[in-house]
Structure 1
Amino acid sequence: MQKTAKEYIIFPLDFSSMEAAQSHIRQLDGRVGMFKIGLELFIRQGPAVVEMVRKLSSAGIFLDLKLHDISATVGRAMARVAELGVDLVTIHGSSSQKMLESAVENAGNTKVLAVTLLTDNDADTVRAQGFKDEYVNAPEKLVLLRAHMALEAGCAGVVCSGQETAMLKTQLGRQCLTVTPGIRPQWSLTPGDDQKRVVTPAKAVQAGSDYIVIGRPIRDAEDPAMAAEKVASEIEAGLSGSAP
């Protein structure tokens, strides 16, 4: 069954306090498909924040921890994540096949996503990390390489820029779950954004993104609920083919 437009939206709870997170959950419940818990809130509040989201909303829960360590450590950490019963969890796709496999083996029913290349990384960042010119000149090749490795390890999918989604769907198939951060609605695009590889909600879903992560334009709006509805409208236009 095809998702509704609002179910594509993942809202990141990028707050330091439980109170701020609770306020936004109450405003956005029923208007987004999933809430994302990142490092800041999880480090400050721990597993209690997962239970808080579950009590306040029926939306899915995405634990964005970007685990990256030796395979044994990641495996043990992932077993603890599995006990929390969240829907999605992230690991870094830049590590070894063994680490990726260990994560998947211990994740239980939680779907594991590999982060391919952070959305504030660009060609200059890839060059500074010592990669060959092949990947510096075409960072999407590095994304594809890491996505291949993630799927071979059993990951459900990847976190990638909307600029790479269509390529990954073509190369890896529709079964590769793609979650796209760095989303900026058409009405919120501004110069000097700290995300280097951004796309609009409509273009992301047209390219095949299964979920889009959108925070600042909703969080900073005078009316976050209305902003979320505007994002859903852009997604609906993209799905119907009426968006540019």
Structure 2
Amino acid sequence: MSNPVIVALDYARAPEALSLAQRLSPESCRLKVGKELFASSGPELVEELQKLGFDVFLDLKFHDIPNTVAGAVRAVANLGVWMINVHASGGRRMMSAAREALEAFSHRPLLIGVTVLTSMSEQDLIDLGYEESVEQRVMRLASMAAESGLDGVVCSALEAPTLRANLDDDFRLVTPGIRLAGDSAGDQRRVVTPAMAVSSGSDYLVIGRSITGAADPLHALQRVRQELNLSL
């Protein structure tokens, strides 16, 4: 397994994000920039992280009409990021438009579809009017993403075994909601440990608070890599 750990830079401002990034190594992890950090710090932060040598997952979860999403995907791809995502619930036409927007790029980013947020429970789906279970809805959206030409999906490791059994081996599974043993689940509902996620079929593990909230983030990252039997 090569560099499966993605550290979520869940900070409000660039200085804190850069401070942590400068303590980490591109050989030991990739980095995720989400909505709050990107809104406050913009493309300049992404460029700074890339200058440090990191692959960047730009986690903006686009969800809009197909033409708008295609334009947004094209714009962030021009930043040279490693991975971007859209909400699979935007439908086939939206996902296909996003995929087509990347065809002109010689080194295009991975395009990933978000299925069901790991903060959501079965009751949340019921409240939204869905009659499917979480696993059924994740499977439906992941299949739609694969048929639309996406490279993979964001899902909980709890759904990963079903997806791995039903989708191509090269279809990437990106798993948030990862916590080290003993850590609080916070606002996540469907959480697992790093080793459990990999054994379930996850390709990439998004880890935020277990690393960023640790007294020693570098040591926490080393714990993750040790749990996955990766060299330090």
| Contact preservation (8 Å) 1:185, 1:234 | no
Instruction: State the partner residue of 1:141.
Output: 136
Whether 1:217 and 2:216 are equivalent positions in the alignment is no
Share of identical aligned residues, percent? 39
Whether 1:194 and 2:193 are equivalent positions in the alignment is no
Structure 1 gaps of 5+ residues are: 238-244
Separation of aligned partners in 1, 2:66 and 2:213: 38
Instruction: State the partner residue of 2:35.
Output: 39
Instruction: State the partner residue of 1:118.
Output: 117
Deviation for aligned residue 1:79: 1.0
Separation of aligned partners in 2, 1:222 and 1:131: 41
Instruction: State the partner residue of 1:54.
Output: 50
Instruction: Give the structure-1-normalised TM-score.
Output: 0.89
Deviation for aligned residue 1:193: 3.0
| Contact preservation (8 Å) 2:26, 2:55 | no
SS for the counterpart of 2:22 is helix
| Contact preservation (8 Å) 1:32, 1:59 | no
Structure 2 gaps of 5+ residues are: none
Q: Report the AA paired with residue 10 of structure 1.
A: I
Separation of aligned partners in 2, 1:213 and 1:39: 15
Q: Report the AA paired with residue 54 of structure 1.
A: Q
Instruction: State the partner residue of 1:81.
Output: 76
Deviation for aligned residue 1:31: 5.9
Instruction: State the partner residue of 1:174.
Output: 169
Q: Report the AA paired with residue 64 of structure 2.
A: D
Whether 1:17 and 2:16 are equivalent positions in the alignment is no
Runs of 4+ in 1 over 3 A off after TM superposition: none
1:56-80 Cα offsets, whole Å, 9 max, x none, are 2x22110000000000100111110
Separation of aligned partners in 1, 2:54 and 2:194: 19
SS for the counterpart of 1:186 is coil
Instruction: State the partner residue of 2:99.
Output: 104
Q: Report the AA paired with residue 204 of structure 2.
A: Y
Q: CA RMSD in A?
A: 1.3
Separation of aligned partners in 1, 2:30 and 2:169: 21
| Contact preservation (8 Å) 1:36, 1:63 | yes
Q: Report the AA paired with residue 110 of structure 1.
A: P
Instruction: Flag the structure with higher helix content.
Output: 1
Separation of aligned partners in 1, 2:49 and 2:169: 30
Q: Report the AA paired with residue 214 of structure 2.
A: A
